[in-house]
Amino acid sequence: MPSTTPLRVAMIGTAFMGRAHSQAWRVAPRMFELPREVEMAVIVGRDPGRTDAAARQMGWQEASTDWRSAVERPDIDIVDICTPGDSHEEIALAALAAGKHVLCEKPLANTVPEAERMAAAAREAARRGIVAMCGFSYRRTPAVALMQQIVAEGRLGDIRHVRAQYLQDWISDPEAPLTWRLDKEKAGSGALGDIGAHIIDSAQWVTDSLITAVSAQLRTFVTERPVLGDSVGLGGRGAAGGERGPVTVDDAAAFTATFDNGALGVFEATRMALGRRNANRIEVNGSTGSIAFDFERMNELEYYDAADEPGRQGFRRIQVTEPEHPYLAAWWPAGHGLGYEHAFVHEAVDLVRAIDAGEPIHPSFDDATQVQRVLAAVEASAADESRLTPVEGSK
């Protein structure tokens, strides 16, 4: 039976991620047997009217425009950070100092020093029983979680190749408005940090190995866009009076990587791949097998076993909907797939269980700092044009 003492959540942020996290907090205690009740205590935003509306629509008890007072409230147990990256450090450090458990959206910060300070604060808070987690939600997609289990069981043998892509197209139109995600001061980077961070985390987690070196290129294809009126969300609310502003982040990133287990990695992240709405893909090739995932078919895995008899070899489809698969015993009958929002529900479930058990959880702030180091290395490599080797005879 759940404890009689509920965990009360304050969520900072009302836009895209705020909606996803609100859905998670509403659903998690209703579909999963949790050791603690969860109460959606207060949502915090910048605009009073929109924040009040968000509280009503998304199921929060109160609305506020003062995140500091929400963090300091003695009746708040968890602070859920769904704001742009430039505010993550300040909010997370304040929450940890106040003795709150923290869930922080990815990427953890905008710079490595910020992430390192956050990770150090999380380690110190852990000594007081405080749990901090970074929201790399795709880890909790059942098919990706099963993929990680299969690799950990040694089914693929020695890992040789990791191939990861995250392809979107929502800013392919040059007239798409300038949002905070296109401002380096707020977002830290563009496609690299926004979606590239996900595939970096997934690749390192699935293979249980770290990226140690990269060779990278970044591109910004559209250098200025219409200025938004008042929106900070995906796609925006429309431009203001024909004014245009500079895009200060990358539209696309591509890099090769070396893993500490000797594997070779190839990564691509772009928000300019026409026709690809949310193609988050990862394939791992080993000495005895291969496995592949594509979020556009998120309830499936492709698995190849080199031990199959000759003439019967080939990729097989695993439909990840069985109750034996990660998280799925709490959901629908076999064959009834899940969707994007369910990964956030699983994130909330795992966080509540870790808090109740007094145990650490992954991805930790240290895990997320490693991702931040890879992002920084990609930017540094892309800035160093001397590493590009010309092809003789080409023009």
pLDDT at 238 over 70: no
Do the beta carbons of residue 13 and residue 81 sit within 8 Å? yes
Model pLDDT, residue 369: 98
Q: Domain count of the chain?
A: 2
pLDDT, tens digit (0-9, with 9 covering 90-100), for 361-376 = 999 999 999 999 999 9
Same domain, 123 and 157: no
The model's pTM is: 0.94
Interatomic CA distance for residues 79 and 88, integer angstroms: 11
Q: With 60 as the cut, is the pLDDT of residue 233 above it?
A: no
Mean pLDDT, the chain, whole residue set: 95
Task: For residues 132 and 188, state if they share a domain.
Answer: no
In a domain, 349, yes or no: no
For residues 196 and 277, membership in a common domain is answered with yes
CATH of the domain at 31: 3.40.50.720
* Bond prior to 2 in cis (omega within 30° of 0): no
User: 8 Cβ partners below 8 Å, 6+ apart?
Assistant: 39, 41, 75, 76, 77, 78
Q: Residue 237's domain spans which residues?
A: 142-297+299-338
pLDDT at residue number 149: 98
DSSP conformation class of 194:
I
Tell me whether residue 395 is in a domain: no
Same domain (yes/no): 91, 149? no
- Are 110 and 181 spatial neighbours (Cβ–Cβ below 8 Å)? no
Domain match, 313 and 174 both: yes
Domain of 267, CATH number, reads 3.30.360.10
Asked if pLDDT for residue 228 goes beyond 90, the answer is no
Whether residue 363 is preceded by a cis peptide bond, meaning omega within 30 degrees of 0, is: yes
Task: Please indicate, yes or no, whether residues 88 and 199 belong to a single structural domain of this protein.
Answer: no
pLDDT in tens, 127-179: 999 999 999 999 999 999 999 999 999 999 999 999 999 999 999 999 999 99
- Rounded to whole angstroms, the Cα distance separating 146 from 317 reads 13
Please determine, for residue 317, whether its predicted confidence score (pLDDT) is greater than 60: yes
Domain check: are 197 and 321 in the same one? Answer: yes
Q: What is the mean pLDDT of residues 314-326?
A: 98
Same domain, 166 and 263: yes
CA distance 369 to 376: 10
Q: What tokens does 197 get?
A: 């961070």
Q: Is the pLDDT of residue 126 over 60?
A: yes
Per-residue confidence (pLDDT) for residue 242, from 0 to 100: 77
